[in-house]
Structure 1
Amino acid sequence: QAQQLADKLDPCSELVDLLERSIQENPPLSVKEGNIIKDGYNETLDRFRDASRNGKSWIAQLESKERELTGIKSLKIGYNRVFGYYIEVTKPNLHLLPKGRYERKQTLANAERFITQELKEKEALILEAEEKSIELEYELFVDIRERVKQYIPRLQSLAKAISELDVLQSFATVSEERHYVKPQFSEHRELIIQAGRHPVVEKVLGTQTYVPNDCYMNKERELLLITGPNMSGKSTYMRQIALTAIMAQIGCFVPADKAVLPIFDQVFTRIGAADDLVSGQSTFMVEMLEARNAIVHATQNSLILFDEIGRGTSTYDGMALAQAIIEYIHDHIGAKTLFSTHYHELTDLEQSLPKLKNVHVSAVEENGKVVFLHKIEEGPADQSYGIHVAELAGLPSSLIRRAEEILAELEQQEEQRKEEQEEPGGENEAVFEQLSMFAEEKPSKEETRLSKKEKKALETLKSVNLLEMTPLEALNKLYEIQKLLK
């Protein structure tokens, strides 16, 4: 391959010679300002430049020559914008001028002004030199440009060869400096990365700080569901897998200790929050459109990265969409997929989807503080540590304490709900039974004198259709009635 590249390196010697002789090393940006063409390239241009540069010197030499010829020491050559250049002689010395050589141009009170043929020629050259020089330079430039056009096919071939050489040299340099390894390609749909790194993040952090990670996927392990805290490195991990695959397929060594990769036909990503307000598309709509693009066009040989799909809508909507997307990819597409989520409920899918495996980014608590280890491990994460991240972001301490209180209450309610579901009869029967008993109970004589609130509670209870309510709706309604009776 090196010899093939060398054969394409056409030096274009004739063109190099033309450009070196004709064009200045640092010409102006505009081609109509002059100072483009080198001295010595064109004889006429050299004359114009000589006239422009040496005009005053010529005039001084001509003045000295005329004084010597006439013997008039007071003779002088001057210039004004109306008459141009002239030879001025005082009236007492007019008789010394040789006849036929001087042509009268202007008469003054004490002197006469003349012009000679030689001075006319010098005047034309001096006054027109700069203008004609610029015009001629542009003409010469256009001519050179037309001649260069003939070399376009050879130049394009040379540019392509140099660009290939530049890319390969860059690959070699970065691979050696950052200790990348040669990847292998698998025909068995295997993806094995040992101590993989993100090339850009590693460059910023340094090799001593960056934590490498492994990744293993095969025909029985097609979809990795990634859980873990915010800021723990889920997105970085996903991106480094995709970058490793892309780098390998463009011919570069990769940031890992070992890499065995399949050939991917496409890479699809749904990462980050973005909107298109001008087109009337919200962040969530953009998220869904990007997800659709991957789902519609991905094949079994594609790589899909989905980061936090579904978080732009309500919890249940988002979770339902995320699960449906995971199931569709698993059952109908079969692409290698990295899917990160904060919906911990989705980790149960490992039980029903044989090709899905849970992995998580680990974190530990030390002295009440969370330390992100940035290490990928098997299994689901146990916590999100979202409040800790909010604390790191500098939210007020009173706000953080309140969030922790609310979290504790929510977790306690969730535990109670699970315990009630485990009791015989289940949650539905318990709620419906309480409401039914309350609705069927006959009032005593003392209870016939009801307050307005009690009457409203009974009317609300009578209007309830228990068979069409969810357990949560039934509990909310019971709570509402109870508030009226207190």
Structure 2
Amino acid sequence: GSRKLKQWLHQPLANRRGIEERQRLVEELITQYFTRVELQGLLKEVYDLERLSGRIAFGSASGRDLAQLRSSLEKVPAIISELADSGSGELVKFSAKLDRCGEVCDLLEAISENPPLSAKEGGVIREGFNDKLDQYRYASRNGKDWIAELEQRERQLTGIKSLKIGYNRIFGYYIEVSKANMHLADLARYERKQTLANAERYITPELKEKEALILTAEEESLSLEYELFVQIRDKVKQYIPRIQKLASTLSELDVFVSFSNVAEKYRFVKPEFNDAREISIIEGRHPVVEKMLNKQHYVPNDCVLTEQQNMMLITGPNMSGKSTYMRQVALTIVLAQIGSYVPAESANLPIVDQIFTRIGAADDLVSGQSTFMVEMLESQYAITHATERSLLLFDEIGRGTSTYDGMALAQSMIEYIHDHIGANTLFSTHYHELTALDQSLDKLNNVHVAAMEQSGKVVFLHKVKSGPADKSYGIHVAELANLPQAILGRARDLLKSFEEGKKQKVSHVEQLSFFDERDTDSEEVLQTIADVNIAAMTPLQSLQLLNDLQAKLSKKG
């Protein structure tokens, strides 16, 4: 299920019918609580069928893998029954998609209950499956019982309580007697086989005869058992396409069960869809951030984009939640288009064809690309590939260059998206000058993430409200980062002087502009310069003209 969910997140559906079919399944699982609990329990006992299929296909599956496959397939009839008995239309319909794979189950009956990891160790094939194998096992087992009896008998005959019969692959079976008890050994029957530092090893004609029988039976048993195992594995290989299809269907069911659990636990709602391009998310939340906050309260926010106003310019201080707000809108749409419920009080969404994001700072120094270059490349890709049915998220465009360069690029992008693409767009910025664009761009709407000052400290409210932000609170954020007070104090003084200088500069420009508009003499001089053909004038004529113009300006002064 986790791989299926990842696949769906990477490739959400773009057709309404498919999305709503998934929604109906989730809805029925929410209402059918006991069915959901039973399914969850059964699905937990199903092993990873995709990986098992892969091992079988490559011929690397062990006896334990085949036992896990059998155990998983044995749960399928119960899963089908739970779905079929639920009485819910979509669940009953889904049950028909599940393949019991009965032929595979029959083949796997040959595998023992708890086979070892290696198929060559024996114990993989169950008793009673093959007569010849059972005969070999009987001979081997009885031979070992006979050896245990022989050990007891030899201890009684010799009186050596520490006497033991052992086995190794090089010397086979042997009777071991310690050096201290060698004088008690019956050398008339015992034939020396191996000398050790503290013991002697012997063999008797009787033991030699049984050894041949036991080892032959054991060797033949292991050989035949592995041969039978490979035959079964190869037969199962023919059913891999069916097993893979079953795995895919079960993984879908696993995801649907998870969707319904999450929807119930975290108060997700079923989103509705519209054929227009309007987004209406009421009291939306970021599902990941909300979960990480634990007991803290997450501040929900609305996001409303209409056909008339489908661009949102977001301002507000750093750390106030602009990026989180943008991400939660995108996540809500992705969740909706994979068939999940969404974290909101209500949601009415369009079917989005693509989501493009330009969020966060990154570079690619190996390729010689700066942070700003990466930002521009990502922006270029989004703008050239987006359609009117796309969603664009741009966070702080233009920060990697000079203020005026960045502001000019940001404004130009907003205007281009507004005039040429028409996609739903969330655009956050610290350039407050851009908030004036709502006067010239009909579809642009200003919003800000609220913050307030209390006793000289900034308090982030994390609430998105209409209108532009009044200030950036950058120095307040620096204070939260514990920058030295000397730096913060100097920054406040500089900010104050910058703001006053800006006002004076604006005032000075306005005064010049005011007088220039009424200065007819200056306009006449400028017009004369513009009209004169310098190439056709002699040096003396040029000097004369310059003298006249200077006189006119001096007279004005």
TM-score, normalised to structure 1, is 0.74
Q: CA deviation at 1:339?
A: 0.5
Alignment of 1:460-479 (within 5 A): none
* CA–CA distance in structure 1, aligned partners of residues 186 and 341 of structure 2: 92
Counterparts in 2 of 1:421 and 1:46: CA distance versus 1, 3 Å: farther
Q: 1:43 to 1:316 in 2, by over 3 A?
A: farther
SS in structure 1 at match of 2:399? coil
Which sits farther off after the overlay, 350-359 or 152-161?
152-161
Match of 1:142 among 230, 238, 259: 230
1:404 aligns with 2:495: no
1:5 is the counterpart of 2:94: yes
How far apart, CA to CA, are the structure 1 residues paired with 2:185 and 2:286?
95
The one of 334, 338, 347 aligned to 1:259: 347
Asked if the contact 2:158/2:185 (under 8 Å) is kept, the reply is no
Partners of 1:159 and 1:92 in 2: CA distance: 65
Q: Is the 8 A contact 1:307 1:339 kept in 2?
A: yes
1:45-68 deviation digits (Å, cap 9, x = unpaired) = 667777777766422424677999
**Deviation at 1:25?**
4.0
Instruction: Indicate conservation of the 8 Å contact 2:270/2:341, yes or no.
Output: yes
- Alpha-carbon shift at residue 138 of structure 1 (Å): 4.2
Shift in CA distance, 206/74, structure 1 to aligned 2, threshold 3 Å: closer
Spell out the pairing of 1:235-246 with structure 2 (5 A cutoff): 235-246=323-334
Output aligned runs, 1:50-65, within 5 Å: 57-62=145-150
For residues 136 and 404 of structure 1, the distance between their equivalents in structure 2, rounded to whole angstroms, comes to 87
Q: 1:193 and 2:281 equivalent?
A: yes
Q: Pick closer, same or farther for the CA change 1:43–1:307 going to 2, 3 Å.
A: farther
Using the alignment, how far apart are the partners of 1:87 and 1:199 within structure 2?
72
Q: 1:86 to 1:268 in 2, by over 3 A?
A: closer
Q: Which residue of 2 aligns with 1:317?
A: 405
Q: Does 1:283 align with 2:371?
A: yes
Say whether 1:364 aligns with 2:364: no
CA distance in 2, matches of 1:405, 1:325: 34
- Residue pair 2:430, 2:472 contacting (<8 A) in 1 also: yes
Higher mean alpha-carbon deviation, 84-93 vs 364-373, is at 84-93
Q: Give the letter for the 1:289 counterpart.
A: L
Instruction: Mark the CA change 1:342 to 1:119 in structure 2 (over 3 Å): closer, same or farther.
Output: same
Other structure's SS at 1:22 match: coil
Say which SS state the counterpart of residue 347 (structure 1) adopts. Answer: helix
**Aligned runs of 1:296-311 on 2, under 5 Å?**
296-311=384-399
| Pairing partner for 2:108 from 19, 30, 33 | 19
Equivalent residue, structure 2, for 1:162: 250
Q: 1:191 to 1:127 in 2, by over 3 A?
A: same
1:333-482 aligned at under 5 Å gives the runs 333-425=421-513
Cα gap change, 1:133/1:319 in structure 2, threshold over 3 Å: closer, same or farther?
farther
The Cα offsets for residues 11-61 of structure 1, whole Å up to 9 and x where unpaired, read as 234433543541554743x55566655555556666777777776642242
Task: Give 2:373's aligned amino acid.
Answer: M
Matched residue, 1:183: 271
Contact 1:235/1:307 (<8 A) preserved:
yes
Report if the CA contact (8 A) 1:48-1:125 is conserved.
no
2:173–2:203: 8 Å Cα contact kept in structure 1? no
Deviation per CA, 1:167-216: give whole Å up to 9, x if none.
21111111111111221111222111111111111122247611111111
Offset of residue 228 of structure 1: 0.3
Deviating more after overlay: 72-81 vs 6-15:
72-81
Partner-residue secondary structure (3-state), 1:292: helix
Secondary structure at 1:192's aligned position in 2? strand
* Partner Cα separation in structure 2 for residue 347 and residue 91 of structure 1: 107
SS in structure 1 of the partner of residue 491 of structure 2 = helix
Code of the residue aligned with 2:99 in structure 1: it is D
d(CA) in 1 for partners of 2:299, 2:152: 86
Question: Are residues 125 and 396 of structure 1, via their aligned partners in 2, closer, same or farther at CA, if it must alter by over 3 Å?
Answer: farther
User: Deviation at 1:5?
Assistant: 1.3
- 1:250 maps to 338
CA contact (8 A) 2:283 2:344 kept: yes
TM-fit CA distance, 1:10: 2.4
CA distance in 2, matches of 1:107, 1:221: 96
Pick which of 340-349 and 181-190 moved more. Answer: 181-190
Q: Is the 8 A contact 1:185 1:261 kept in 2?
A: yes
CA offsets 1:133-155 (integer angstroms, 9 cap, x no match): 66555434322221221222321
The higher radius of gyration belongs to 1
Answer whether contact 1:307 1:341 (CA < 8 A) is retained. Answer: yes
Task: Tell me if the contact between 1:34 and 1:138 (Cα under 8 Å) persists in the aligned partners.
Answer: yes
Between 1:74-83 and 1:379-388, the stretch displaced more is 74-83
Q: Does 1:330 align with 2:418?
A: yes
Change (3 A) 1:412 1:150: same
Quote the Cα distance in structure 2 between the aligned partners of 1:64 and 1:178: 69
How many angstroms apart in 2 are the aligned matches of 1:132 and 1:319?
83
Structure-to-structure mapping, 1:101-180, within 5 angstroms: 115-116=204-205, 119-124=207-212, 138-180=226-268
Bigger CA drift: 59-68 or 381-390?
59-68
Give 1:394 shift: 1.9
| Secondary structure in structure 2 of the residue aligned to 1:188 | coil
CA RMSD of aligned residues (A): 3.9
Secondary structure of the structure 2 residue equivalent to 1:382: coil
Contact 2:449/2:469 (8 A) holds in 1: yes
Unaligned runs of 5+ in 1: 430-486
- Write the deviation string for residues 341-361 of structure 1: whole angstroms up to 9, x where unpaired: 111111111111111111110
CA-CA distance at 1:327 after TM superposition = 1.0
Task: Determine helix, strand or coil for the equivalent of 1:424.
Answer: helix
Distance 1:390 1:428 in 2: 43
Letter in 2 for 1:362: A
Structure 2 Cα separation of the partners of residues 211 and 363 of structure 1: 13
Question: Partners of 1:107 and 1:199 in 2: how far apart?
Answer: 73
Cα displacement (A) at 1:294: 0.6
Amino acid at match of 2:96: D
1:423 Cα deviation after fit: 1.0
Identical-pair percentage: 60
Cα separation, 2, equivalents of 1:67 and 1:379: 100
Indicate conservation of the 8 Å contact 1:86/1:105, yes or no: no
What is the aligned length? Answer: 416
CA contact (8 A) 2:151 2:165 kept: no
**Partner in structure 2 of residue 293 of structure 1:** 381
**Shift in alpha-carbon separation, 1:86–1:303, aligned structure 2, 3 A:** closer
Q: Deviations over 1:263-314 (max 9, x none)?
A: 1100111111112222222211111111111111100000010111111122
Report if the CA contact (8 A) 1:420-1:427 is conserved: no
Tell me the distance in 2 between the aligned counterparts of 1:378 and 1:41: 76
Distance, in Å, in 1 between the alignment partners of 2:367 and 2:453 is: 45
SS in 1 for 2:451: strand
